[in-house]
Amino acid sequence: MPLGAVIEAVVATCDPAASIDFHTRAFGLDVLERDAGGALLGVAGSPTGRLRLAAAPGAPATPAPGSGTSGRGCSASTPATWSGPPPRSTPRAARPATA
């Protein structure tokens, strides 16, 4: 069964405000929803390609837009862990140049 589209990906972050700022500026995403636990980003009017930024345990609440404050990050007792596969140890093969 082929995958047609990614509807929504969820990323836990220790600093929701900084992550929202980064993703909106770097990728041009719109803030579709916002609450104390994070935000839903995406392209307004598109039902796919959404990114939900969720506060990791120990993260501060997301400040209101324009407050000029960012969270302090997770506490030292909240380790950053990765349970996914290890990163690639070799780079992908270079693609041949096209004319």
Contact status, residue 19 vs residue 37, Cβ threshold 8 Å: no
Q: Is the pLDDT of residue 59 over 60?
A: yes
pLDDT in tens, 13-45: 988 889 999 999 999 999 999 988 899 999 999
Domains and CATH numbers, the chain: 8-55 (3.30.720.120)
Over residues 67-80, the mean pLDDT reads 51
Over residues 91-99, the mean pLDDT reads 50
SS (H, E, C) the chain: CCCCCCCEEEEEECCHHHHHHHHHHHHCCEEEEEECCEEEEECCCCCCCEEEEEECCCCCCCCCCCCCCCCCCCCCCCCCCCCCCCCCCCCCCCCCCCC
Q: Is the pLDDT of residue 84 over 90?
A: no
